[in-house]
Chains A and B, each alone.
Chain A
């Protein structure tokens, strides 16, 4: 009996290795090399083919031995079985959240906080905010948006353009950016949201590309590939964080009678995005408890049942889409003000994919999961060139692996905000 199983496992692993070998031969085994103007040559590296084939054999065998293979190929059961719903108690989570916020507020004042660290934390917070925005669309409403970066771009460019042509400051332009991004969301979502979810995915993908192409080619307005320069920085209640005020006004350091340092501006930007992110978090958490939020989650679970209960799916989806877009627009405006420069380079599909990966890895619908995933994914490339190079490869593989093994997310699980019937622990 055992011998038969071992033989079966060996045969299975051999098959997998054979497939891996066939896959590896053309693309791993041969490398196309540029010979300057004369064309393309070819080099071989069969060592890697054998390594890859052997690796697949060993891994497959190990999976079979550990019995994981059987579990893996079995049909994925309903993920809402009681055992999987065991999330930590509510107050523990609230405490963890509070500690995290306290840490985030204190971060710039901690002894090890360098300029680099605060800058990195600002980037992480931008992604957290984008993740929370996309979470409304993907996690709560169950709509797959692959062009989220388009709204980010709309927010960034609308702020940059309003600042240039109408002299709006960051705080004046922020709502405008959000509203414009939301308007784009509505215009885009309206025709598509009546259809099945898959169409939405591809249309948003196309829309993201379209926005980028327009930004690239409409040079008269957007500056084309050169982008837009000289975007103003936000002020602290009207006090600019500059060495000297342009129009003879009072600057931040003069008002508080402290010496000027460029660090102040960086720390201030950090607090601005922290504030925006926390507002976003509070906003979405409240929304989840409102009828509209419940309608989103209900729609995600069963659209036909919702229709039977009198919920208009198009309107509900449209609201989720617009709110997600608005949050993306806010983040975009902040992105523009932080760098002071934007170009279409910053709004590629890769960006959309990163944000989606943050939401998926964090567990769709989970706020805390997004935070953890954003920290991991954004800081990963900082650990070295190898990580930066293989980052997208790992994202892609991780997205597949998570869907196969833990479709409800790696770091956290989403559960309906409200459920009927006897809930556990009450």
Chain B
């Protein structure tokens, strides 16, 4: 029981991270109907920016941890958002209206480019960060096994809930959210009604990238090690989460992220951690076979 609760906590933490990345996938898919393969790399860039920002703050002498973390968060979100904007502007916008595979291939190219860009600039070796926040709550003890929830896990889960609530508000109640929903339904019609479609799409990428940056920062703090390749697996899992929840659906992305996090945590907790990634892909394939529209998604109708 105690072990189960511990894995549950770990899974929720992991799920929060995946959920944040999955939102970027699902939002972009909802609006322009393409999988942004480079999204995982944005998360990786977010992780690197937060690492660098944190180290810089250490040099400057900001030693009050909450302030430092807040600044790191803002820096990571801001810089990664610019990366997200640029990726869209350079690699996707010129391709609107091109043939079907073009944006996909362009996205793959972008993903390979960003990975190697960071590898060349920051080196291929694993970067480590000493633990920033130590300690945690001892929830209960059973048969000598202590169930713990570290402060960092609390921060990650609370921050994720806060961001998702704020984000849902943006979609539901702001002019930008309205424009996004309109573009999702019918881009041409939205343009005819005076919505700046290009701007709306740019904002979508900016928001998605900044959420991915938050996820990147959380992972940097949580695991303490990052390298240029983390975007690949995390992006894949977040995509699986988006598909599991129903791609195009925002609550679906959050739900899918949580489920994937739980599956991964329980799989490595009860079976072998060697095959935890295989388990996640197996989930992806099973979902695609039995429920391609995902848990909360609508079935897709292909139109001429």
Contacts and interface: CB of A to CB of B under 8 A. Distances in A.
Given A26-B49, A217-B275, A397-B113, A198 B34 contact: yes
B138 interface: no
Nearest to B94: A404
B165 interface: no
Nearest to B126: A34
Interface residues of B, number: 72
Given A142-B101, A144-B104, A407-B99, A207 B281 contact: yes
Nearest to A353: B112
B106 A403 contact: yes
A310 B123 CA distance: 54
Interface string A10-21: 000000000100
B243 interface: yes
Given A26-B49, A32-B55, A399 B108 contact: yes
Contacts of B118: 27
A404 B79 CA distance: 25
A195 B289 CA distance: 9
A159 B83 CA distance: 45
B22 interface: no
Contacts of B95: 76, 403-404, 407
A40 to B, nearest CB: 5
B124 to A, nearest CB: 10
Contacts, number: 190
A305 B175 CA distance: 38
A217 B274 contact: yes
Given A31-B121, A403-B109, A39 B48 contact: no
A407 B117 CA distance: 23
A167 to B, nearest CB: 31
A14 to B, nearest CB: 16
Contacts of B277: 209-210, 213
A400 B98 CA distance: 13
Contacts of B278: 210, 213-214
A161 interface: no
A144 B103 CA distance: 11
Interface stretch (A106-114, A368-376, A386-394): A386-394
B104 A198 contact: yes
Contact of A389 (B106, B108, B120, B129): B120
Contact of A396 (B75, B102, B109, B125): B109
Nearest to A390: B120
A303 B302 CA distance: 10
Interface in A101-157: 138, 142, 144, 146
Nearest to A194: B292
A39 B94 contact: no
A393 B113 contact: yes
A404 B98 CA distance: 9
Interface in A327-374: 349, 353, 356, 360, 364
A42 B35 contact: no
Given A42-B52, A393-B116, A403 B102 contact: yes
A399 B105 contact: yes
B206 interface: no
Contacts of A393: 112-113, 116-117, 120
A75 B111 contact: no
Nearest to B290: A191
A27 B49 contact: yes
A392 B116 contact: yes
Given A23-B86, A27-B118, A392-B116, A144 B105 contact: yes
Given A360-B105, A392-B116, A198 B35 contact: yes
A197 B108 contact: no
Interface in B171-216: none
B146 interface: no
Contacts of B112: 353, 392-393, 395-396, 399
Contacts of B232: 349
Contacts of A242: none
A202 interface: yes
Nearest to A389: B120
A32 B110 CA distance: 23
A279 B288 CA distance: 36
A201 B243 CA distance: 13
Interface in B50-89: 51-53, 55-56, 59, 75, 79, 82-83, 85-86
B1 interface: no
A106 B74 CA distance: 63
Nearest to A37: B128
Contact of A197 (B100, B121, B304): B100
Nearest to A22: B82
A196 interface: yes
B96 interface: yes
A400 to B, nearest CB: 4
B263 interface: no
B108 A192 contact: no
B127 interface: yes
A28 interface: yes
A195 B49 contact: no
A42 B284 contact: no
A175 B21 CA distance: 43
Interface in A69-83: 72-73, 75-76, 79
Interface of B: 34-35, 37, 45, 48-49, 51-53, 55-56, 59, 75, 79, 82-83, 85-86, 90-91, 94-106, 108-118, 120-123, 125, 127-130, 232-233, 236, 239-240, 243, 274-275, 277-278, 281, 284-285, 288-289, 292, 300, 302, 304
Interface of A: 19, 22-23, 25-28, 30-32, 34, 39-42, 72-73, 75-76, 79, 138, 142, 144, 146, 191-192, 194-199, 201-203, 205-207, 209-210, 213-214, 217, 303-304, 349, 353, 356, 360, 364, 389-390, 392-393, 395-400, 403-404, 407
Given A23-B86, A404-B90, 13 more contacts: A27-B45, A27-B49, A30-B52, A30-B55, A42-B59, A79-B99, A142-B100, A191-B288, A199-B243, A203-B285, A390-B116, A395-B109, A396-B114
27 contacts: A22-B79, A26-B75, A27-B122, A28-B121, A32-B52, A34-B125, A34-B127, A40-B51, A40-B55, A40-B128, A75-B96, A76-B98, A195-B288, A196-B300, A197-B101, A202-B284, A203-B281, A210-B277, A213-B275, A213-B277, A304-B304, A353-B112, A393-B120, A396-B112, A399-B112, A400-B90, A407-B95
Closest 4 CB pairs of A and B: A399-B109, A396-B113, A396-B112, A393-B116
